[in-house]
Structure 1
Amino acid sequence: MMTGPDSDPFETMRPRLLGLAYRMLGSMADAEDAVQDTFLKWQGTEKASIANREAFLTTVCTNCCLDALKAAHRKRVDYVGPWIPEPLQVDAGSDPEIDLERAQSLTTAFLLLLERLSPKERAAYVLREVFGKPYEDVAQALDLSETACRQLVSRAGRHIQNPATRFVPTPDHQQQMLSAFLNAVESGSTDQLSGLLSETVQFHSDGGGKVAALGRVLEGRDEVAKYVAQIIRRLWGGAPVLPCFINGLRGLVVLEDMRVVTALTFGYDEDGRIDRILVVRNPDKLRQLARPVRHDPESGALWQ
């Protein structure tokens, strides 16, 4: 909400625009570019002609993101191996258990599900279901009828809604699973690992063709447990491993010469078992981890 006669509407909205753009694009660098483009268009617009400045800025930013998604799609055709959204080190605040349901909209597993959607489905779904925009505003942002936007949101929901997409375990459970996972990796026990994983678990590893990473998505408890026990244990042997809040969940980073070379986070099923192991090794995507961000689950805003 914009308050105060002297407040700058754009600066007031900037954190929410950044939160919107990051969820749309899965990249903080691209999100910052979209917000900057929004600022430039705001600067070049006669303010007196804008009836609803918040709606105007949301519309401009959404369309900047849609343009960026078209360009990103062309790049990803040639992307080497699985693609994972850029991880963020998120300040958990004083009480990380607050509003876990809303916090799920920032998790890596959820952002990866959004990749299944068309750009307009993604925009409509994020605006409506994450940011709670009325359909009137969604329609204005996408230059569509409200009926068409309802259809987009409904179709998007069918594509990505399953029990796991809305499940974020308590911080205590996350910590228990992370500790158990590390113990299993250190011991090399596939039995220990299997006990943590869902039957349909997937292992995604994003190296972007720049560093060694698995070039395909592994699926199934036995195959994933065997790979983690045999390969990850060897790769991480002796390297410093530190806890880190990644996209709102407890994760970890692996260091080499004091540089982050790997970021890992999980997705969970309804029973609290690990159903996604998401490993980012592409160095271009790890730079942002040095700049923690603050997330407001209530508004979806991001502050750097």
Structure 2
Amino acid sequence: MPDIPEDPTTGPSGHPQAPDPAGPVPARDATRVFAGYRELLFSIVYNLLGNVADTEDVLQDTWLSWAARHRDPAAGEIENRRAYLVRIAVNHALARQSAIRRRRETYVGPWLPEPLVSGDPPDPAEPALRAESVSMALLVVLETLTPLERAVFVLHEVFGYAHPEIAGILGRTPAAVRQLSHRAREHVHARRPRYQADPRVQRQATERFLAAALGGDLDALLRILAPDVTMWTDGGGKARASVLRPVQGRDRVARMIVGVTSRAPEELEVRYRTVNGDPSAVLFADDSPFAVMVIDLTPDGEQVRGIYTVTNPDKLSRVPDGAEPPAAAEPPSEDPGGQAP
């Protein structure tokens, strides 16, 4: 990824950001500045935590820290507001990691990130940075890193921050950050070689897979599944047919899919959506989200090597039904001491 642009009005990937001149921020402008960087902060923190509720909590903590900073008459100037806010958000996210890990130790069955679902194609009004979240498959791999390794990987590989910038954010030396980055990159690439599936191929493969799965066509499933395919099903113990561990191997996965779909609601409706940046599918039953299904393809795009199915109703509560355009965001509060924008 390229380094963060020098132009303070342009964020990672060239998306517009709020102006970021050096110097103190008047209290009346604190809300405007925070709101200008909110989507960048959301995207970074979500990629560190994989959960929307935790991400929103971290943004609230970040806002409170930012507002308190601007109520302090003794506070000095902020040379780079974007860097300052990213540092606060990342460190709040790292501080929550212990509680999150303890919570996941008691989670029933495999844990998957909460899906970020948008239209297909994505609605132009949707926040661009949020739509560019890393794939579900990569987020699963990132769960195997230490919190610091993950922070370095996300900031460097996804958002293009240079190692010296990350060192300032994390309070580590550049040499230590480079070591963390090297270790994280090797770990990730060993488990998920870097490639990007063509969106058209991904959509066609998703359609073929669902046709075979929902039709109970075992032979077709055996053809489309890779020999070493793995299926994760995150029901959180709250959905029917929750599986307590990932299922591996073509034959086992195919037979499990046929068994599960035979017990699924009869009137399932498939709506194709973009999930964490990938063309995917959302299954609805009685106009309520029943499951989000994301597939990961082999590098040649011919077979499915990973299936990620989220059926936990808690993780589907924010899935849009597509019937109405997304509601416009409420204007931010003018009170820097109130709720986060």
Give me the TM-score of the superposition, normalised by structure 2.
0.78
Q: Decide whether the 8 Å contact of 2:138 with 2:192 is kept in 1.
A: no
- Pair 241,21 (structure 1): closer, same or farther in 2 beyond 3 Å: same
Unaligned runs of 5+ in 2: 1-8, 10-17, 22-28, 125-130, 327-340
The whole-number CA distance in structure 2 between the counterparts of 1:240 and 1:291 is 11
SS of aligned partner of 1:161: helix
Q: Shift of the alpha carbon at 1:181? A: 1.0
Q: Decide whether the 8 Å contact of 2:133 with 2:277 is kept in 1.
A: no
Q: Decide whether the 8 Å contact of 1:89 with 1:291 is kept in 2.
A: no
- The residue that corresponds to 2:19 in the other structure is 3
Q: Shift of the alpha carbon at 1:260? A: 0.6
- The residue that corresponds to 2:288 in the other structure is 259
SS of aligned partner of 2:202: helix
Q: Decide whether the 8 Å contact of 2:122 with 2:274 is kept in 1.
A: no
2:144 to 116, 121, 126: 116
Q: Decide whether the 8 Å contact of 2:116 with 2:276 is kept in 1.
A: yes
The whole-number CA distance in structure 1 between the counterparts of 2:150 and 2:191 is 19
Question: Could you tell me which amino acid in structure 1 is paired with residue 291 of structure 2?
Answer: T
Question: Could you tell me which amino acid in structure 1 is paired with residue 281 of structure 2?
Answer: L
Moved more, 144-153 or 257-266: 257-266
Q: Shift of the alpha carbon at 1:154? A: 0.8
SS of aligned partner of 1:277: strand
- The residue that corresponds to 2:172 in the other structure is 144
- Pair 169,62 (structure 1): closer, same or farther in 2 beyond 3 Å: same
1:158 to 186, 197, 210: 186
1:106-255 alignment, distance < 5 Å:
106-162=134-190, 164-212=192-240, 213-255=242-284
Q: Shift of the alpha carbon at 1:45? A: 1.0
Q: Shift of the alpha carbon at 1:127? A: 0.7
The whole-number CA distance in structure 2 between the counterparts of 1:169 and 1:81 is 28
Question: Could you tell me which amino acid in structure 2 is paired with residue 275 of structure 1?
Answer: R
Q: Shift of the alpha carbon at 1:163? A: 7.9
Tell me which of the two structures has the higher relative contact order, counting C-alpha pairs closer than 8 angstroms and 6 or more residues apart.
1
Q: Decide whether the 8 Å contact of 1:164 with 1:270 is kept in 2.
A: no
- The residue that corresponds to 1:284 in the other structure is 314
The whole-number CA distance in structure 1 between the counterparts of 2:218 and 2:262 is 11
Q: Shift of the alpha carbon at 1:277? A: 0.6
Give me the TM-score of the superposition, normalised by structure 1.
0.87
Moved more, 212-221 or 242-251: 242-251
- Pair 86,94 (structure 1): closer, same or farther in 2 beyond 3 Å: closer
- Pair 291,9 (structure 1): closer, same or farther in 2 beyond 3 Å: farther
The whole-number CA distance in structure 2 between the counterparts of 1:82 and 1:41 is 34
The whole-number CA distance in structure 2 between the counterparts of 1:53 and 1:131 is 17
Does 1:45 find its partner at 2:75? no
Does 1:54 find its partner at 2:70? no
SS of aligned partner of 1:235: coil
Q: Shift of the alpha carbon at 1:162? A: 4.0
Q: Decide whether the 8 Å contact of 1:128 with 1:135 is kept in 2.
A: yes
Q: Shift of the alpha carbon at 1:93? A: 3.9
1:14-53 alignment, distance < 5 Å:
14-46=38-70, 48-53=76-81
Larger radius of gyration: 2
Higher helix share goes to which structure? 1
Q: Shift of the alpha carbon at 1:94? A: 7.5
Q: Shift of the alpha carbon at 1:104? A: 7.4
- Pair 94,43 (structure 1): closer, same or farther in 2 beyond 3 Å: closer
Unaligned runs of 5+ in 1: 96-102, 294-303
Q: Decide whether the 8 Å contact of 2:91 with 2:170 is kept in 1.
A: yes
- Pair 34,115 (structure 1): closer, same or farther in 2 beyond 3 Å: same
The whole-number CA distance in structure 2 between the counterparts of 1:246 and 1:25 is 16
The whole-number CA distance in structure 2 between the counterparts of 1:193 and 1:23 is 32
- The residue that corresponds to 1:98 in the other structure is none
- Pair 236,269 (structure 1): closer, same or farther in 2 beyond 3 Å: farther
- Pair 184,206 (structure 1): closer, same or farther in 2 beyond 3 Å: same
Indicate the percent of aligned positions where both proteins have the same amino acid. Answer: 35
SS of aligned partner of 1:241: strand
Question: Could you tell me which amino acid in structure 2 is paired with residue 170 of structure 1?
Answer: D
